[in-house]
Structure 1
Amino acid sequence: MSTIDYTTQRIDYVRRASDLATPSGLDDRDSRLFRRFGWGPARTVPRVGIHEMIERHAAVRPSVTAAQHGGERISYGELERRADRLAARLIQGGVSPGDRVALVVRRGIPMLVGILAILKTGAAYVPQDAKMVRNPALRHILATANCTIVLTQSDAPVELPPGVIGIDIDRDGEAADVPVPRIAHDPARACYVLFTSGTTGTPNGVAVTHANLANLLLTEPGDLGIRPGTTVGQILNIAFDMAAWEILGCLSHGGTLLIRGHDIAATARRVNVLIATPTILSRIDPEACEGIRTVAVAGEPCPSALADRWAERAAFYNGCGPTETTIVNTMQRHHPGVRLTIGKPTPNNTVYLLDEHRNPCPIGAVGEMWAGGDGVSAGYLANPGLNAERYAPDPFLGGGRTMFRTRDLGRWTLDGELEHLGRTDDQVKVRGFRVELDAVSAVLESVPGCVRAATVKLDDRTLAAFVQPSGVDPELARKAVAEALPYYCVPESIHLMEALPLTDRGKIDKARLLRLARLGREATA
């Protein structure tokens, strides 16, 4: 087992005020608030590999259950032994520190063995769900990440391109126990590489380091209070970055991971901590989940009514942040009846609201969120053009630091919390006017009985909306939008659905809704 180096250093992101760039165009008051609101608290973080945290729990509490899936369970000690055997096979196969190893598996305990084994070699894991990934996308991912070795499973075979070696993860038990050479830990080394969908439909690989991840998982509130004895649900697709929050967030703190089967709600009823998208959470009854103590949502806007409902029973966190800033870089502990926001920057992170010229916006004005600090990843793999578009030198932190353009719109409240106002790529023109689709959906979600809503643009003059569940009064919904927003924001049609369709990452599938809306229009034409 690796020895953990708990040496910590004061991060350099908090610098003397005299060293910071002065925000241009702001008066003295807004300049002070720009820094007070935009800088998360400074915290020291252990310079430790996430896998080393798991190894420590295996050494101290080897008999404690690390994970359960169906009728199968694995202890921390057995997880460590199986991962060591598989890591030895990977090293014998030529895997070296800094490499990337694809993990194309179905959900289950072998998935955890594969993650830990890859990390033990000093490589980064590139996760994909074997049941969902398509061959063209997989070929692109393997080529972009330069993966020459793929961990697979015999009962979930995938088609590998020539020159790529597949290793059956289920055969790790056949190998003899071989000591794994100690790999010197480097916090700047990638922990995982996730592929975002991208606006063009071509997946973009983002490498997230151990330091990036430790900054969220090993500080409050991102640790979600997980400790030995805490049961955490694993319900999300492993190709989605929030699954790393579930898996590594649980195991790095010695909790027990409950890996779901087909029924997400059944898993939710048995856990203490649940991480989900709002759309997935909207399908779970909080009154049936007596054991849940903490809920965290991110990935898409959360309806206030949904947040209120869960916050009455558990500590409810609303977060925001793209993959490129390591899962979430803002969080808020929400209380029922209080205005829902995405909170404040998490420790060692910064958020700036900037205009189109990258100048700070006055407090209370709408701007685009740029993220800085220790959560910002190094950039996209093999895509210098997109890196130049989305990453830029951070003029506020300086010191060679980088900031990331999130494409989220927001504004600061007077008490220093961020209101999320949709995305720049969710703004459309209708009848010549700019419309924020998420703003229309938020009004619909305020209608009695509405749990989730989504709005799509049909053409330059028309919007269509979908609401969940099917019992919502469509006339009342249309009236609510007409009273709250300008006439051009009122949907031409409101479609009732018992449940909105999901993408493979648990978000509302707006592309599918647009197709349904167009089919509906053609049917009534």
Structure 2
Amino acid sequence: MTAFSIPARFAEQVARTPHATAVSEAATGAALSYQELDQRANRLARRLIRLGVGREDRVGVLMERSADLVVALLAILKAGGVYLPVHEADPADRRQWIVDRARPMLLLVDDAMRAAGVPDRVPVVAVHDPEIAGELIDDPRVPLHPDQLAYVIHTSGSTGQPKGVAVTQREVVRLLVDPQWAVERHTRVLQLAPYAFDVSAYEIWMPLLHGGQVVVAPPGRLEPSVLRELITEYEITGLHMTAGLFRVFAEESPATLVGVREVLTGGDVVSPVAVRRVLAACPDIVIRALYGATEGSVFSAHCVITRDTELGKVVPVGDVFTGIRIHILDEGLTPAPAGAVGEIYLAGEGVARGYLGQPDLTAERFVADPFGLPGSRMYRTGDMARRTADDAIEFVGREDSQVKILGFLVDLAEVEAALADHPGLTQVVVLAREREDGNKQLVCYVVAETGTVDLAAVRAHARTKLPGYMTPEAFVRLDALPLTANGKLDREAMPEPDFDQVVASRTPETPLQQELCAMFSSLLEVPDVGIDDSFFDLGGQSLQAIRLCNRIGAAVGVGVSVNKLFDNPTVAELAAYIDANRAAYRATAAS
């Protein structure tokens, strides 16, 4: 019989393969066997128990990607606790809000995060505390029930604040032991996603519950070249990429995925063109397009695509995982007929417990299931879809203010609430605009008290309040918001972002500056780029930054990382950096 708590399932694997490699840390080359990982987690678990952690006590985690992170998450579960990720890339205000609202018993940190600053009003424990080394290596054998919580992960919330989704250990294990997975394709999985996002549950627990290996990517933002090296060096067999990142690699370097047995993608509409490009370059790969929600315990449905799959104009939602049901219902909770658009409800197994400390919101989104057993619930996703004549499900869009940006669910109301307290603003509206390439970008429209406002200051304010993927890419000042005849906001009348509102910039003076201006203009679809214009102030986002760096490397022969682009975002600064490094780069390439 399958064990349905993560520590119990992991213990079974330790007994089978104690000396097999469980975790590899790409940044240092260090590795832990299953036995070593188990013993380190046991020591930390015993320390947590000594500090009072018990059944379903929340333990915050603020750490960089590392083997220590895997140890910490496993130790929290072994102690009977619940891990509460506090995203290291979030602004300090957002991290503090999560800690204040979720009230973890303590916060586990590593040296890097401790040095950078941690939230107040919570006891802090360093994972490298010397006292931990003195704890016993034996399993503390805390009695665990499968319906205990495994984690609480915060997602964007329509109230203007994040909402913590509480998921049980049973649901994590149930998903990852589903027979519809071909686990031999996931023997070496790259841990790439931030641990504060639910897909990290696949990246960490899928290999560890099946005798595979977690390859932990270096901390921070990864360049495409680094990703390529990791895939080759560690012979990665399985990895997850957001739909946007998958599309970038399909367009720029699909051969990057040669050797990977299965790539998972989702979080937004998956491009059939991107799928075909990857399959053409990697004919033996399996692409699994996924549909799901954090409230549905990561993944609910999947579409398995190989070179033999007949793919149409749309990648369908696909088949449900075992025990899960998808209903497409109208406003009266009646099944929508074939071809008609309705809202997706997730039912059966996989439905999360609810939102931490928000019973009203839980009752609103987790509703009684009229098609299930008495007492069962289903989750209202807010996603709109239709069933085709052959019973396939096609995703249509969102019914509320939530949109997918870079694969992450963003509630526009939360972004608006974060910007509304900027001094001098009377009204703030945030919309998602779709670019010609299919990607969405956030645009912020503001009305000022005096009619004037420093948009650069508003952008800087946004960056202190919001994660990068939630920060609008364009800011537009309006004298007044357009209204419909009945007095409601007329979103259709909102103007397209006017990037010409930026301060006039100098024209290019050198061939390199001209070439870079042309690249900025082509990628961002912005005319008349000057050398003082910033790539990011013109609307550039991380996926476009990857494309730009690839193009620069191919065109001028100097490698520019995304991090260097952040440090040198204007054409003038970027050209100066390239010129300064051209000789050194050529010398290195020739050696």
Kindly state the Cα deviation for residue 474 of structure 1 after the two structures are TM-superposed: 6.7
Counterpart of 1:210 (choices 156, 169, 191) is 169
| Structure 1 residues 335 and 205, CA gap change in structure 2 (3 angstroms) | same
SS state at 1:160 partner: coil
* Structure 1 pair 316–188 and aligned structure 2 pair: CA distance change class (3 A): same
Structure 2: runs of 5 or more not aligned: 404-430, 446-490, 500-518, 527-537, 547-591
Kept in 1, the 8 Å contact 2:24–2:214? The answer is: yes
2:139 is the alignment partner of 1:176: no
**Pick from 229, 234, 243: which aligns with 1:266?**
229
Alignment of 1:440-455 (within 5 A): 444-445=436-437, 453-454=439-440
Q: State whether structure 2 residue 342 is matched by structure 1 residue 385.
A: no
- SS of the aligned residue for 1:254 comes to coil
Q: Is the 8 A contact 1:470 1:498 kept in 2?
A: no
Alignment of 1:458-469 (within 5 A): 459-462=491-494, 464=496
Do residues 279 (structure 1) and 244 (structure 2) align?
Answer: yes
**Structure 2 residue matching 1:500: 3-state secondary structure:** helix
* Alpha-carbon shift at residue 398 of structure 1 (Å): 2.8
* C-alpha distance 410-96 of structure 1, shift in aligned 2 (>3 A): same
| Deviation of the 1:374 alpha carbon | 0.8
SS in 1 for 2:68: helix
Cα distance in structure 1, aligned partners of 2:62 and 2:524: 44
The answer on whether the counterparts of 2:187 and 2:213 sit within 8 Å (CA) in structure 1 is yes
* In 2: Cα distance, 1:496 partner to 1:138 partner: 25
> Paired residue for 2:346, among 367, 371, 384?
371
SS in 2 for 1:275: strand
Deviation string for 1:286-324 (max 9, x for gaps)?
Answer: 313322000111212211111222344311111111100
Q: Return closer, same or farther for 1:388/1:79 CA change in 2, 3 Å cut-off.
A: same
Of the candidates 216, 219, 229, which is equivalent to residue 178 of structure 2? 219
Please tell me whether residue 107 in structure 1 is matched to residue 93 in structure 2: no
Matched to 1:188, the amino acid is D
Deviation at 1:224, TM superposition (A): 4.8
Change (3 A) 1:415 1:220: farther
Are the structure 2 counterparts of residues 91 and 499 from structure 1 closer, same or farther at C-alpha, using a change threshold of 3 Å? closer
Shift of 1:226: 4.3
Following the alignment from structure 1 to structure 2, what is the Cα–Cα distance between the partners of residues 256 and 300? Answer: 27
Gaps (5+ residues) in structure 1?
A: 1-5, 7-45, 429-435, 446-451, 476-493, 503-525
1:22-171 superposed matches below 5 A: 46-69=2-25, 70=27, 71-130=29-88, 132-157=89-114, 158-162=117-121, 164-171=122-129
The count of corresponding residues between Structure 1 and Structure 2 is: 419
CA contact (8 A) 1:268 1:274 kept: no
Task: Determine if contact 1:66/1:74 at 8 Å carries over to the other structure.
Answer: yes
Q: For 2:153 and 2:109, how far apart are their aligned partners in 1?
A: 17
- The answer for the alignment partner of 1:333 in structure 2 is 304
Give, in whole Å, the separation in 2 of the partners of 1:407 and 1:501.
Answer: 31
TM-score with structure 1 setting the length: 0.73
Query: What is the CA–CA distance in structure 2 between the aligned matches of 1:171 and 1:473, rounded to whole Å?
Result: 48
Distance 1:83 1:427 in 2: 38
Structure whose alpha-carbon radius of gyration is higher: 2
Contact 1:311 1:334 in 2 (8 A): no
Contact 2:44 2:135 in 1 (8 A): no
Check the 8 A contact 1:104/1:129 in 2, yes or no: yes
Q: Percent identity?
A: 29
Contact 2:339-2:388 within 8 A present in 1 as well: yes
Give the secondary structure class of the aligned counterpart of 2:199.
helix
* Superposition TM-score, scaled by structure 2 size: 0.66
Q: Supply the RMSD in Å over aligned alpha carbons.
A: 2.9
Q: Secondary structure at the match of 1:361?
A: coil
1:484-523 aligned within 5 A:
499-500=543-544
Distance 1:470 1:80, change over 3 A: farther
The residue matched to 2:128 in structure 1 has which SS?
Answer: helix
Matches within 5 A, 1:337-376: 337-339=310-312, 340-376=315-351
Tell me how far apart the structure 2 counterparts of residues 327 and 59 of structure 1 sit (CA, whole Å).
28
Closer, same or farther: CA 469–258 of 1 in aligned 2, 3 Å: farther
- Of 323-332 and 168-177, the range deviating more from structure 2: 168-177
**In 2, Cα distance between equivalents of 1:184 and 1:391:** 29
Q: One-letter code of the match for 1:374?
A: E
State the distance in 1 between where 2:7 and 2:202 align. 14
Partner Cα distance (2:184, 2:102) in 1: 32
Q: Does 1:289 align with 2:257?
A: yes
1:20 maps to which residue? Answer: none
In 1, the alpha carbon distance for the partners of 2:40 and 2:521 equals 48
Q: Which residue of 2 aligns with 1:316?
A: 287
Normalized per residue, the structure richer in helix is: 2
Letter in 2 for 1:377: A
Cα offsets for 1:382-413 (capped at 9, x unmatched): 11221122110000013211101001111112
TM-fit CA distance, 1:58: 1.9
Aligned partner letter, 2:299: V
The residue type equivalent to 1:168 in the other structure is A
| Cα offsets for 1:205-242 (capped at 9, x unmatched) | 11100111122111033x45247x81111111000001
